[in-house]
Structure 1
Amino acid sequence: MAVEDPVGGFAVAVVREDGHWRCEQMDPEVLASLDASITALRRIRSTGAVFGLLNVDDEFFVIARPSPGGIELFLSDSSAALDYDIAADVLDLLRVDPPDEDEDEVWPEGDLAILADLGLPDGELDVIVAEPDLYPDEQLRMIAQRCGFADQLGALMAKMGA
């Protein structure tokens, strides 16, 4: 993918603070750069959990969660690293080799328990990602439902026209 090609999709910062959820639209530019998305998430000040949901071109999604020791990451489709820089950067940070180009199987990479403390056990995330009939935005809505911020995400997505 050429650098000048815009990346479609949407990016949402999710914040859990004082028992309440808040979803904020992130600049669409973060969809092209993992560094930009991490930087944007680290700028959000909160005493609670902060993470990003990145739906890239309606092809795959990334969950990025800053932590004191670095960044926790989850990539829904490792084969996306063959076509998208942001997915390749996720695999690079995870120290995982990208799949071969002739690989037919799709699998996730990263921390399946990335949102376990927020109500989404690793087994449920695995089931959501393994569902072949769901688009990334539908998978992200299911994640939001399981964690308890579906209303906030739905309202933001309606406002964004996504």
Structure 2
Amino acid sequence: MTDAEVNAVDFAVVAYRDEGDWNVARLPSRALDDVDTIARELRRYPGESGALAMISVDEDFVILVRVQGSLVRVLLSDATAAPDWTLARSAVVHLGVHVGVDDDQAPAGDLGIVADMGVSAADMGALLDDFDLYPEEVLSEIARGIGFGEKFDELVDLAD
């Protein structure tokens, strides 16, 4: 990613469950070059059900990356961001998705990425289809549904 793109990252958070407790921390900017770099970073965390990266870029789109052993799952909230953003482009390349110039805004990837953690694919689709929500609100709702909403909100300064 370019310096401008790194500066456009609103926040990047990792969440993982260890010994029954949720841990939430910021991901270092050096880990945000592409999906593969994010996946390598996530493997450093001990999560019982893998580690989850939650990234908001330019108050425009979100990327979720979940690593469980060798399995890497990705969800990009808006595939049409790929032509303009290196990180979004790496997500669609990882997913093997083609994004056309005239495509409408739509998510790409695994809507069920955290279904086993409490946010179903249908709920995820509804969240991503709600264009009135800012990316941080979408991620906060996902974190809340999984069970670490308060920790997430506090870390990214959304707490009331």
Q: TM-score under structure 1 normalisation?
A: 0.88
Deviation at 1:46, TM superposition (A): 3.3
Tell me, in whole angstroms, the C-alpha distance in 2 between the residues paired with 1:151 and 1:4.
31
Residues paired across the two proteins, number: 157
Contact 1:76/1:108 (<8 A) preserved:
yes
Structure 1 match to 2:101: 101
Contact 1:77/1:107 (<8 A) preserved:
yes
Describe the SS at the equivalent of 2:132: coil
Tell me, in whole angstroms, the C-alpha distance in 2 between the residues paired with 1:48 and 1:144.
15
Q: One-letter code of the match for 1:86? A: L
Describe the SS at the equivalent of 2:12: strand
Tell me whether 24-33 or 50-59 shows the greater mean CA deviation. Answer: 24-33
Deviation at 1:56, TM superposition (A): 1.4
Deviations 1:116-139 (A, max 9, x none): 110001100000000011111110
Q: One-letter code of the match for 2:134? A: Y
Structure 2 match to 1:75: 76
Structure 2 match to 1:112: 111
- In the alignment, structure 1 residue 86 sits paired with structure 2 residue 60: no
Tell me, in whole angstroms, the C-alpha distance in 1 between the residues paired with 2:47 and 2:141.
24
Consecutive unaligned residues of structure 1, counting only runs of 5 or more, are none
Deviations 1:40-83 (A, max 9, x none): 11111233431100111221111101123330110100001010
Consecutive unaligned residues of structure 2, counting only runs of 5 or more, are none
Structure 1 match to 2:155: 156
Structure 1 match to 2:16: 15
Deviations 1:25-49 (A, max 9, x none): 1113434432321121111123343
Q: One-letter code of the match for 2:63? A: V
Tell me whether 86-95 or 61-70 shows the greater mean CA deviation. Answer: 61-70
Contact 2:78/2:108 (<8 A) preserved:
yes
Tell me whether 124-133 or 36-45 shows the greater mean CA deviation. Answer: 36-45
Structure 2 match to 1:42: 43
Calculate the aligned-residue CA RMSD, in Å. Answer: 1.9
Q: One-letter code of the match for 1:158? A: D
Q: TM-score under structure 2 normalisation?
A: 0.89
Identity %: 29
Superposition map of 1:117-136 within 5 A: 117-136=116-135
Tell me, in whole angstroms, the C-alpha distance in 2 between the residues paired with 1:35 and 1:69.
12
Contact 1:10/1:28 (<8 A) preserved:
no
Residues 62 and 51 from structure 1, CA distance in 2 versus in 1: closer, same or farther, beyond 3 angstroms? same
Q: One-letter code of the match for 1:41? A: L
Tell me, in whole angstroms, the C-alpha distance in 1 between the residues paired with 2:14 and 2:152.
10
